[in-house]
Amino acid sequence: MMDFVLEAWTSGLIEMSRALWKFGAGRAWQPGEPLKLLFAGYNGTRNTGSDVRVEEMLRQVRRVLGENNVDLSVMTFDPERSRGYFSGTRQVQLPMIFPPFLFREVRKYDGAITCEGSMFKSKFANALSTMTIGALGIASAENKLSVGYGGEAGAMDPMLEKMCGHYCRRSLIITRNEESQAILSKLGVPTELGTDTAWTFEPHPAEVGRKALSAAGWDGRTPVLAICPINPFWWPVKPSVAKLIARKTFGAYKESHYSSVYFHNAGPSVDAAYKKYLGAIAGAVNAFRKTHNVFPILVAMERLDARACEALAPQLGGAPVFTSDAHDMYELVSVLRCCGLMVSSRYHAMVTSMPGLVPSAGITMDERIRNLLRERGHDHLLLTVDDPDLEAKLLVVMERLAADADAVRDGIAHSVVRNLKTMARMGVFLERAVHKCYPEFPVRAGVHGWEEYLPPLSPNLQRLLETYDIAAAAAAGD
């Protein structure tokens, strides 16, 4: 019921924005002014993947559109948790009850760019997708730039799907895989094929990651095995006034309370599935350690993942835990890139480690890791969180990961290079979308190489390009 209220409320405010715009209310961009763009997403929760994505979007947009030509703002749930991120960008606090905020805020800008990876799906929270549709819908209702950047679409509840098809039909959604493009195209939403935007992220130097590992007991020599667990069964998050009243009055629903009026999925079946998932990971890792000398660590890519890490740590002999609360995104990714192997249920743990050529396998709850491993050519390294034989199959996958590490690294390197080129193409799509919406905006003149549509690349990425792009060209006979 509360999801319905949020969706109806947001839809009504989009329609009101359209009506007010027709009567001349709202901001209209004037040539010579910086283009004011609002990045709408799930930041300020210490979700490393979300923060890394947006950091790189901002760098790419400045590179493509010109730093002096844009004025960028980013939504955040908690400015304290995003302090030090998104340099040179204004941060705007997003309340949990967001429809009035969207109506007030989006209309102050010349366009909205939605930046959450799980952009259109009911798996995690209808509210998050409703917020995304609201930002895009209000911007397009005022004939402004309305772009979804590097997101995914999955299964949606009927009303959410209807909202998406109705209010995003004048937006441009640049998806990060073909599967998402197919879903949105069926709804009549314009799409282009892109990728994630975390590929160009450069963390702190390796010395920082090694120092953090040493402080946790690493000897500096033993290969590090990173395990990135989640609670895959307590989604979706849904709003509930009744649960909130019970929480405030009787202290009920404490464990499942997410924030404000939002609560995780909960119950005995959720607890049982979660316990089995963690037990399967622990069993496989402990069996693997009997024949492989590794230093296991647990990594919480989002604050919420700390619970899973803390629950798993005792089953792994007290393995150290690295959380996004204690380590910012620059340090946490530096730690990941010092690892020798990775088993992850977090998509961005895999993506951000790939430029460091860390061999990784995935235990997925949805299509994100599945699509990534398919693109890498590593379907054999994919498992699902609810597999009844997860422990036995994970041990087999880890053995293959260790035995075929060099071949896996080679596939990862080629994947990084392909995705860098795809990300550059996203910059071209964005430039065209801006020029279409604002023909007098000063787009760059002349012919530009594809690298100029990316943020400035680190020496590490430059080396990967030089090595693997040349190798790919040679293999193709170019």
What digits encode the pLDDT tens for the residues 79-132?
999 999 999 999 999 998 999 999 999 999 999 999 998 899 988 889 999 999
pLDDT category at 478 given cuts 50, 70, 90 is: very low
pTM of the complete model = 0.92
84 contacts 328 by C-beta, under 8 angstroms: yes
Residue 470 has pLDDT above 80, yes or no: no
Residues 343, 399: Cα–Cα separation, whole Å: 12
What digits encode the pLDDT tens for the residues 208-236?
999 999 999 999 999 999 999 999 998 88
CATH architecture entry for 206-403: 3-Layer(aba) Sandwich (3.40)
What digits encode the pLDDT tens for the residues 285-297?
999 999 999 999 9
Handedness of CA 302, 306, 311, 313 (dihedral sign): positive
Pick the CATH number of 2-200 from 3.40.190.290, 3.30.70.360, 3.40.50.11720, 2.40.30.30: 3.40.50.11720
Biggest alpha carbon–alpha carbon distance for the chain: 72
What's the chain's average pLDDT? 94
What digits encode the pLDDT tens for the residues 345-400?
999 999 999 999 999 999 999 889 999 999 999 999 999 999 999 999 999 999 99
Residues 211, 315: Cα–Cα separation, whole Å: 25
- Measuring CA to CA, how many Å separate 370 from each of 148, 221, 233, 308, 409? 21, 32, 17, 21, 18
pLDDT score of 472: 52
Residue in this structure with the two tokens 């947001």, named with its chain if needed: 10
Sort strands 172-175 and 257-259 into parallel, antiparallel or unpaired. unpaired
pLDDT score of 201: 97
457 contacts 200 by C-beta, under 8 angstroms: yes
For the chain, domain boundaries: 2-200, 206-403
What digits encode the pLDDT tens for the residues 118-136?
899 988 889 999 999 999 9
344 contacts 368 by C-beta, under 8 angstroms: no
Residues 51, 60: Cα–Cα separation, whole Å: 14
pLDDT score of 476: 47
Nearest 10 degrees: CA dihedral of 393, 394, 397, 403?
A: -120
Q: Give Cα 52 to chain centroid, integer Å.
A: 8
Do the domains 206-403 and 2-200 match in fold? yes
134 contacts 99 by C-beta, under 8 angstroms: yes
369 burial via Cβ count (<10 Å: 0-12, 13-18, 19+): buried
Residues 298, 324: Cα–Cα separation, whole Å: 11
